[in-house]
Amino acid sequence: MNLLRLSFNLLRRDWRAGEWRVLLLALVLAVGSLATVGLFADRVRQALSQQATALLGADLRITSTRPFSPDYRQMAETRGLRVVGSRTFPSMVSSRERVLLAEIQAVEAGYPLRGKMEVTPSPSGEGGVARGTVWADARIMRQLDLRVGDEVGLGAGRFIVAARVVKDVDQSIGFASFAPRVLMNDADLAATGLLQEGSRISYRLMVAGDAVQVRALRAALQGKLTGNEKLEDVTDARPEIRTALERAEHFLGLAALTAAILAGAAMALAARRFVLRHLDGAAVMRCLGAQQGQVLRLFLYQFLGLGLLAVLAGGLLGYMTQAVLVERINALRVASLPQPGVLPAFKAAVSGMALLLGFAFLPLLQLRRVSPLRVIRRELGAPQASVWLGYGLAALVLAGLFLWQAGSLKLGLSVLGGLLAGLLVFGLLARALLQGLARYAGVSPARWRQVFNNLARHGRGVALQIVALSLGGMALLLLTLVRADLLASWQGKLPVDAPNRFMVSIQPDQRQAVLDFFARQKLPQPQLLPMVRGRLAAINDRVISGDSYPESRARALVEREFNLSYSDQLPAWNELVSGRWWRGANPPSNSSPFPRDDAPGAREELSVEEGVATTLGIHLGDKLTFDVAGSRFVGRVTSLRRVQWDSMKVNFFVIATPALLEDYPASYLSSFYLPPDKLLAGDALVRQFPNLLVIDTTAVIAEVRGIIEQISQTISVVFLFTLLGGGVVLYAAMLATQDERAREAAIMRTLGADSAYLRRLHRGEFIVIGALSGLFAAAGATLLGRLLAVHVLEISYRPGILIWLVGVLCGVGLVVAAGWLNTRKLAKLPPMGILRGE
């Protein structure tokens, strides 16, 4: 027996009969949704990487506060890499009667190595900043009232403004990237006299070239860097943008997984129906001598053939959909998105096949174990395969998909655990409620008695229907009502009047004058926060340095100075995740590891941001020693905080009690919102207080808002897959019991039941199934929405009663409508033909 040929013939026959319609559609949707999100995310990731490289001005950048060793340049050049150096420092720029504090960058020829600076007017040829000239950004041009061709002073030198910078590159990783900038030729720097002993200069060595050689150079430099040197590449970014991108990627992955899970539910229902309709054929083959293994391979080949066809169709659908999506979303500031790689399509194909085999394995086992006696004893039902083995495999497939696609072990396990727990609870509740209805049938109204008895008699199949429909409804509710609530909450974290300016270097004697300025300009009063610069010297009396940590981020943290602050109150945009605040409402008990408010040392307390605490291995109760300008102080960690980095407000890694820091010299800083019609007020602020550094963060806010908008539009497209997946689940759920309902209807009609009675009976069953499914779907969507809010978007989520009303009403309406469409012909079919199996 040629099993492959026979399997192909059976597949072609069942295809013409429509047996594979639901399975094929479900698998195409699963692969299509995963491919769409995977391919689109890959293109965006590549584009952002290219954009970040352009903004960095190089593939790799070394920064230091001291001149570099000549070996660094030689190491790069011997690898065939291009190298350009620059020196950056703050200085006053003067024009006529005005002065402005700006960031001056002296660059070598060939700058930048990556990206292109857009200036107006454009320089002739490929040249950069010519000798005797400077390029100034728009803020300097506006605040000093400059025009191209005007003269400015830098130290002892005078320079002509040759161009206005429209688009910058080589920006610092951090707030310095938003300071007003002036670019000059490095050869002119000595003549300015600005480089003096003790000058605060940032040295940069930029490298670009072959990616393999760049990685090799980075690895070679890791062991040679001194304490004040660090490496930067595209993996470094503003925490606001990085956080938004991470959330967006997780949100997209889970949205695609929702559609894939719906497809899995439809596959489970369709595979169950396939088994019931092919038991006779499998029994006949067993009578003709086919072994169990041959029967299994025969049907397995059919599933694999169908899976291959669906994977190709789904991959094509995903590629076309993401291409349309790219055309709709044009918010990225790049000329075009790169073409996607092969890996996302491969992941989607593997995921689709895993879903198919995971959910079809149990039905295939049932066909393998069919008894030859079924040919003469039709009352023999489907053999009972190992339920734990079959559904355990499906659970493992789902677990693998979640952990693979979610991109976060914690997130994947949280959502997966919630989903599997929900399915288990849904199944148990459905069976329990159906059994309860059977006991209630005896005292229920006559109209519902037969409805309850029918549902209880087919308890296992009906429970499976309810679980599948609950899963579909949960996904639809999650991506409609809950999605809208979550995105609104996420956008609410960045309101229209979110701070778009940071004000740094406010001296203590300027505080009242600054507040008076804001009052005169009719701007909201900013909150001025103290800042003390200090270096972490020891943890629990153990001296630490960069060599104490293997991770680059940890080394960078301990080798730099922290911005420390002190406050009596916990900032409103910070959340206490463990420990207690020194002026909190929860005083420590006698057994608490923290000192009581009246105990010695109680005022020497610190609160640390949880991310930094994790990176540096800091725990509650640890004693930290900081060095501030040669003077040391010690504080004990009594709380860990979660910081909203994308709030655009001032945040600190470490906050101390006032008693610890108020005697140290401090400057003040603040963030505030400057409306577009008040830009001149910002210029006036800098003129009145020339020592202030006012940082414009409008670009960061626009980037974060753009990411949120892109994700909102993208999820709308992915939602179409989910909507179709929900429709397929509904269709599969109705088909799952179609044959049983047809046989029961034939028996009832033979016993005298009319068409109206059958319609009422079916409608009653569908109302109960729809109500339970909608109720379970609302509960599941609420719980999963909570998980998404906490673990993905890190926001608060409070669902209303609307989700419960919509869940139940839509569940009843959709199931009744679909059931009516599926059963309306049963009353017209000849009973004798159905009973004979014709």
Residues 786 and 645 in one domain: no
Of the ranges 74-78, 234-238, 270-274, 650-654, which one carries the lowest mean pLDDT score? 234-238
Q: Which domain holds residue 615?
A: 525-672
pLDDT band at 39 (very low <50, low <70, confident <90, very high): confident
pLDDT tens digit string along 284-323?
777 877 787 787 788 888 888 888 888 899 889 888 888 8
Q: Is the pLDDT of residue 584 over 50?
A: no
Q: Would the pLDDT of 697 be above 80?
A: no
CA distance 772 to 431: 11
- Cβ-Cβ contacts under 8 Å for 308 (sequence gap 6 or more): none
* β partners of residue 37: none
**Whether residues 798 and 732 fall in one domain:** yes
Spatial separation of the C-alpha atoms in residues 35 and 311, rounded to whole Å: 10
Query: What SS3 class is residue 501?
Result: strand
Do residues 600 and 741 share a domain?
A: no
HEC assignment per residue over 224-268: CCCCCEEEECCCCCCHHHHHHHHHHHHHHHHHHHHHHHHHHHHHH
Q: Within this chain, do residues 150 and 103 fall inside the same structural domain, yes or no?
A: yes
Give me the residue label for tokens 């150096």. Answer: 85
What does residue 539 show for φ and ψ, rounded to 5 degrees? -125, 120
Which range, of 139-153, 363-377, 555-569, averages the lowest pLDDT? 363-377
Q: How confident is the model at residue 154 (pLDDT cuts 50, 70, 90)?
A: very high
CA distance 766 to 540: 66
pLDDT at 415 (0 to 100): 63
Q: Which residue has the higher pLDDT, 233 or 331?
A: 233
Predicted local distance difference test score (pLDDT) of residue 12 = 80
Share of the chain above pLDDT 70, in %: 73
Q: Can you give the pLDDT at residue 510?
A: 92
Cβ contacts of residue 498 below 8 Å, gap of 6+? 647, 648, 673, 701
How many angstroms separate the CA atoms of 583 and 28, rounded? 58
**Helical ranges in 407-445 per DSSP H:** 409-441
Q: 61 forms bridges with which residues in the sheet?
A: 206, 232
Q: Which amino acid is present at 49?
A: S
Mean pLDDT in residue range 175-190: 78
**What is the structure's pLDDT at 831?**
66
Residue 246 pLDDT grade (very low, low, confident, very high; cuts 50, 70, 90):
low
Query: How much is the pLDDT for 173?
Result: 42
Total number of domains constituting the chain: 3
Q: Which residues contact 575 (CB under 8 A, 6 or more apart)?
A: 641, 642, 644
Count of C-beta atoms within a 10 Å radius of residue 708: 19
**Band of the pLDDT at 585, cuts 50, 70, 90?**
very low
How far is the C-alpha of 718 from the C-alpha of 787, rounded, in Å?
20
Q: Given this model, what pLDDT does residue 609 score?
A: 93
Kindly state the average pLDDT of the residues 703-731: 66
Same domain flag for 582 and 474: no
- Per the model's pLDDT, the better-predicted residue between 41 and 118 turns out to be 118
pLDDT digits (tens, 9 = 90+) for 728-737: 777 776 776 6
The average pLDDT across 647-667 equals 89
Q: What is the rounded distance in angstroms from the CA atom of residue 696 to the CA atom of residue 175?
A: 9
In a domain, 84, yes or no: yes
Shared-domain flag, residues 68 and 9:
no
CA dist., res. 178 & res. 526, Å (int): 20
Sort strands 605-609 and 631-643 into parallel, antiparallel or unpaired.
Answer: parallel
pLDDT band at 652 (very low <50, low <70, confident <90, very high): very high
* pLDDT exceeds 90 at position 50: no
- DSSP letters of 721-781? HHHHHHHHHHHHHHHHTHHHHHHHHHHHHHTT--HHHHHHHHHHHHHHHHHHHHHHHHHHH
Q: Residue 549 has what pLDDT? A: 85
Rounded Cα gap, residues 54 and 49, in angstroms: 9
Q: What is the pLDDT of residue 272?
A: 74
Mean pLDDT across the stretch 528-542?
Answer: 92
Q: For residue 806, give the nearest of 784, 779, 768 by alpha carbon.
A: 779
Phi and psi for 566 in degrees, rounded to 5? -140, 150
The pLDDT of residue 512 is above 70: yes
Q: Is the model's pLDDT at 280 over the cut of 70?
A: yes
The dihedrals phi and psi of 582, each to the nearest 5 degrees, come to -65, -20
Query: If pLDDT is split at 50, 70 and 90, which confidence band does 236 have?
Result: low
Q: Say if strands 202-208 and 82-95 run parallel, antiparallel, or are unpaired.
A: antiparallel
Tell how strand 654-656 and strand 151-154 pair up.
Answer: unpaired
The answer to whether 416 and 402 are in contact (CB under 8 A) is yes
**pLDDT exceeds 50 at position 586:** no
| Domain termination site, one of 207, 233, 259 | 233
pLDDT level of residue 207 (50, 70, 90 thresholds): very high
- The angle subtended at Cα 454 by Cα 449 and Cα 455, nearest 5°, is 100
pLDDT grade for 832, boundaries at 50, 70 and 90: low
State pLDDT tens for residues 783-793: 877 776 766 65
Apex CA 599: angle with CA 597 and CA 603, to 5°? Answer: 55
Average pLDDT, the chain: 77
Q: How far apart are CA 654 and CA 565, in angstroms?
A: 7
Highest-pLDDT range among 12-26, 68-82, 591-605: 68-82
Other residues' Cβ atoms within 10 Å of the Cβ of residue 646 = 24
Is residue 472 situated within a structural domain?
yes
Structure tokens at 634: 């010690």
Is residue 100 within 8 Å of residue 141, measured between CB atoms?
no
**Residue 564 backbone class (left: φ over 0; alpha: ψ -120 to 50; beta: rest):** beta
3-state class (DSSP) for residue 333: coil
pLDDT bin (cut points 50, 70, 90) of residue 201 is: confident
Residue 186 scores a pLDDT above 60: yes
Q: How many helices (H) and strands (E) does the chain have?
A: 24, 21
pLDDT the model gives residue 103: 86
Per-residue model confidence (pLDDT) at position 395: 66
CA nearest 27: which of 725, 733, 720? 725
pLDDT in tens, 387-401: 556 556 666 776 677
pLDDT band at 43 (very low <50, low <70, confident <90, very high): confident
* pLDDT category of residue 654 using cuts at 50, 70 and 90: very high
pLDDT recorded at residue 389? 60
Mean pLDDT of 142-146: 85
- 98: CB partners within 8 A, 6+ apart: 143, 144, 145, 687
Q: Give the residue-averaged pLDDT of 792-807.
A: 74
- If you average pLDDT over residues 629-644, what whole number do you get? 90
- Cβ-based neighbours of 180, under 8 Å, separated by 6 or more: 100, 101, 102, 103, 136, 137, 139, 140, 143
Specify if 587 maps to a domain.
Answer: yes
Instruction: Give the H/E segment covering residue 204.
Output: strand 202-208
Burial 615-625 (b: 16+ CB within 10 A, else e): bbebebebbbb
More confident residue, 301 or 625: 625
Task: Please tell me the predicted confidence (pLDDT) of residue 291.
Answer: 81
Contacts by 488-493, CB closer than 8 A, 24 or more apart: 489/789, 489/793, 489/795, 489/796, 489/797, 490/247, 490/708, 490/793, 490/795, 491/705, 491/708, 492/795, 493/644, 493/646, 493/647, 493/795
* Helix, strand, coil distribution of the chain in percent, nearest 5: 55, 15, 25
Nearest-angstrom CA–CA distance, 535 and 202: 19
Residue 20 three-state SS: coil
Query: Residues 460, 359: one domain?
Result: yes
Q: What is the pLDDT of residue 375?
A: 52
Q: Is residue 35 part of a domain?
A: yes
Residues 257 and 228 in one domain: no
Of the pLDDT bands very low, low, confident and very high (cuts 50, 70, 90), residue 184 is very high
Confidence of residue 641 (pLDDT cuts 50, 70, 90): very high
Looking at residues 492-505, what average pLDDT do you find? 76
Calculate Rg over the CA atoms of the chain. 34
Mark whether 175 and 154 lie in a shared domain.
yes
Could you tell me which residues come within 8 angstroms of residue 658 by beta carbon, excluding any fewer than 6 positions away?
566, 567, 568
Q: Could you give the CA distance from residue 592 to residue 600 in angstroms, rounded to a whole number? A: 15
628-638 residues labelled b (16+ CB within 10 A) or e (exposed) = beeeebebbbb
CB 81 within 8 A of CB 205: no
DSSP string, 160-197: EEEEEEEE--S--SSGGGGS-EEEEEGGGHHHHT---T
Structural contact between residues 59 and 214, judged by C-beta atoms closer than 8 angstroms: yes
Reply yes or no on whether the pLDDT at 813 is more than 60.
yes
Q: Which residues contact 464 (CB under 8 A, 6 or more apart)?
A: 268, 269, 272, 427, 736
Of the candidates 233, 266, 287, which is a domain's last residue? 233
Q: What pLDDT sits at residue 356? A: 81
Mean pLDDT of all residues in 814-819: 82
- Is residue 28 included in any domain, yes or no? yes
The pLDDT value given to residue 601? 44
Domain boundary among 650, 672, 694: 672
Give the three-state DSSP class for 132.
coil
pTM across the whole model: 0.59
Q: What per-residue confidence (pLDDT) applies to 493?
A: 60
Q: Which helix (H) or strand (E) holds 477?
A: helix 459-477
Q: Is residue 510 part of a domain?
A: no
For 283-292, 595-604, 624-633, 673-682, which range has the lowest pLDDT when averaged over its residues? Answer: 595-604
Torsion angle (degrees, nearest 10) of CA 639, 645, 647, 648: 120
Residue 650: inside a domain, yes or no? yes
Predicted local distance difference test score (pLDDT) of residue 360: 72
246 and 228, same domain (yes or no): no
What pLDDT does residue 745 have?
74
Residue range 589-605: average pLDDT?
Answer: 50
**Do residues 748 and 822 both lie within one domain?**
yes
How far apart CA 205 and CA 197 sit, in angstroms, is 21
Residue at 678 is within a domain: no
- Tell whether 245 and 227 lie within a shared domain: no
- Give the integer Cα–Cα distance in Å for 753 and 319: 53
- Average pLDDT of the residues in 607-624: 93
Beta pairing partners, 202: 88
At residue 741, does pLDDT exceed 60?
yes
